[in-house]
């Protein structure tokens, strides 16, 4: 009896379908936006420690895996700029205000993702919006999007931070030709030594209150606190700690940091061929004058908040 060569038929079918698949995928890859494919080449000079087997890959927009949530006037911009030097980190350039504002939040996660820079899969996207830290609605919203989100908060001595915050408010109001409140009058209630905890520059310094609302959703191990006072003077040790927290190799080194004598802080340089990138003119502004007795009253008023913060995080700052 004649036996049909079944094996032969199966092989032929398999080869034909394989060819069809190759054809289809070739067709689709040609259809894709050429711009989505960027050849992933690390220059040996500045990004030598990267695994070179991840060479040709798709670059796309990804949701952040880390947020810098504050504090306002704590050095968030400088921290983000410094982290952006790292080849495994991509930073959203502007403050997106996704979680803290209902109008932006209602645009949805796809919109949020669209605000992010292009990145490779091994890169971590970071977004920073200092308004997230004191925002009551934000921790839950972040948690619902990604319960594993890494959270960074950079804190400065609260009296200095309050004066810096007030100084920014002062110049914003000056520009808008609004009335210019005196520091001592807005920070304290009616000439008492009770701080006005509703006045934003004061409220933003009550770190304990804000951190507590984040700890309702995230364990302390997922929140890294940068010492903003140390970071301003000597950024590298603090950057090392952040690199460790983010599980990325220690690649940011002193050759990337350039001291700006005029402004009194560091500028950042991605590689030796480029000029350093410095913070804008609204940063490092001379603070509005505040008398030493007002500073002292403010310092005393912050003490109980500071103490509760230290107990919460199991770490002390010299405030
Ligand atoms: C610092 O990093 C740059 C570029 O990433 C590299 O060329 C240089 O050798 C490094 N310097 C030190 C002291 O590690
Ligand atoms: C480099 O990447 C490849 C593939 O992702 C992986 O198998 C290898 O272990 C990596 N090597 C190093 C040194 O990380
Ligand atoms: C924003 O939304 C939250 C929760 O949905 C709500 O509690 C809050 O009042 C809203 N804020 C404003 C300004 O509408
Ligand atoms: C502060 O002053 C306002 C009006 O100037 C007054 O209504 C209020 O009772 C005062 N508050 C305190 C705590 O003295």
What CATH code is carried by the domain that includes residue 159?
3.40.50.300
| The token pair that represents 276 in the structure block | 């350093």
Residue 155 lies in a domain: yes
Q: Which residues contact 316 (CB under 8 A, 6 or more apart)?
A: 310
The per-residue pLDDT for range 258-297, each reduced to its tens digit, is 888 777 778 888 777 777 778 776 677 888 889 999 999 9
Residue 9 lies in a domain: no
Domain of 134 in residue numbering reads as 64-313
- The pLDDT, as a whole number, for residue 262 is 76
Residue 27 lies in a domain: no
Residue 190 Cα: closest atom of ligand 4: 1
At residue 34 the predicted structure's pLDDT band, cuts being 50, 70 and 90, is: very low
Residue 38 lies in a domain: no
Residue 4 lies in a domain: no
The per-residue pLDDT for range 40-50, each reduced to its tens digit, is 333 334 444 45
Residue nearest to atom 3 of ligand 3 (CA): 137
- The pLDDT, as a whole number, for residue 104 is 97
Residue 21 lies in a domain: no
Q: Is the pLDDT of residue 36 over 60?
A: no
**Do residues 195 and 295 make contact, with C-beta atoms less than 8 angstroms apart?**
no
Average pLDDT over residues 55-66: 85
Residue 113 is among the residues annotated as catalytic for this protein:
no
Looking up tokens 């070179």, which residue turns up?
A: 52
**Total number of domains constituting the chain:** 1
Residue nearest to atom 13 of ligand 3 (CA): 102
193, 201, 211 from 196: Cα distances, Å: 9, 10, 19
Residue 173 lies in a domain: yes
* Active-site residue, selected from the candidate residues 59, 73, 128, 150: 73
Q: Is the pLDDT of residue 4 over 80?
A: no
Say how many residues make up the chain: 319
The per-residue pLDDT for range 135-175, each reduced to its tens digit, is 999 999 999 999 999 999 999 999 999 999 999 999 999 99
Residue 17 lies in a domain: no
- The pLDDT, as a whole number, for residue 10 is 60
The per-residue pLDDT for range 187-205, each reduced to its tens digit, is 999 878 899 999 999 999 9
- The pLDDT, as a whole number, for residue 133 is 98
Q: Is the pLDDT of residue 32 over 60?
A: no
**Do residues 104 and 98 make contact, with C-beta atoms less than 8 angstroms apart?**
yes
């Amino acid at each position: 009896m004649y036996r049909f060569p079944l094996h032969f038929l199966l092989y032929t079918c398999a080869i034909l379908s394989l060819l069809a698949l190759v054809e289809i995928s070739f067709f689709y890859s040609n259809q894709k936006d050429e711009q989505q494919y960027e050849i992933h080449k690390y220059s040996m000079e500045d990004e030598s420690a990267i695994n070179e087997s991840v060479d040709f890959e798709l670059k796309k927009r990804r949701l952040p895996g880390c947020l810098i949530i504050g504090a306002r006037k704590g050095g968030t911009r400088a921290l983000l700029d410094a982290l952006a030097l790292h080849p495994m980190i991509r930073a959203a350039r502007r403050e997106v205000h996704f979680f803290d504002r209902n109008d932006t939040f209602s645009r949805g996660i796809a919109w949020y993702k669209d605000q992010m820079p292009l990145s490779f899969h091994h890169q971590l996207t970071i977004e920073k919006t200092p308004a997230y830290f004191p925002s009551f609605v934000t921790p839950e919203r972040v948690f619902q999007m990604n319960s594993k989100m890494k959270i960074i908060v950079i804190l400065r001595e609260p009296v200095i931070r309050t004066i810096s915050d007030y100084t920014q408010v002062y110049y914003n109001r000056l520009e808008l030709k609004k009335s210019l409140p005196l520091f001592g009058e807005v920070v304290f209630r009616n000439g008492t030594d009770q701080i006005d905890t509703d006045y934003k520059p004061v409220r933003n310094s009550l770190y304990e209150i804000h951190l507590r609302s984040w700890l309702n959703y995230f364990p302390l191990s997922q929140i890294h606190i940068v010492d903003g006072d140390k970071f301003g003077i000597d950024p590298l040790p603090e950057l090392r700690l952040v690199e460790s927290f983010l599980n990325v190799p220690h690649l940011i080194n002193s050759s990337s940091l350039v001291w700006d004598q005029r402004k009194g802080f560091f500028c950042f340089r991605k590689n030796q061929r480029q000029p350093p990138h410095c913070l804008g003119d609204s940063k490092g502004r001379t603070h509005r004058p505040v008398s030493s007795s007002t500073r002292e009253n403010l310092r005393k008023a912050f003490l109980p908040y500071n103490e509760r913060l230290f107990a919460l995080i199991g770490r002390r700052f010299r405030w």
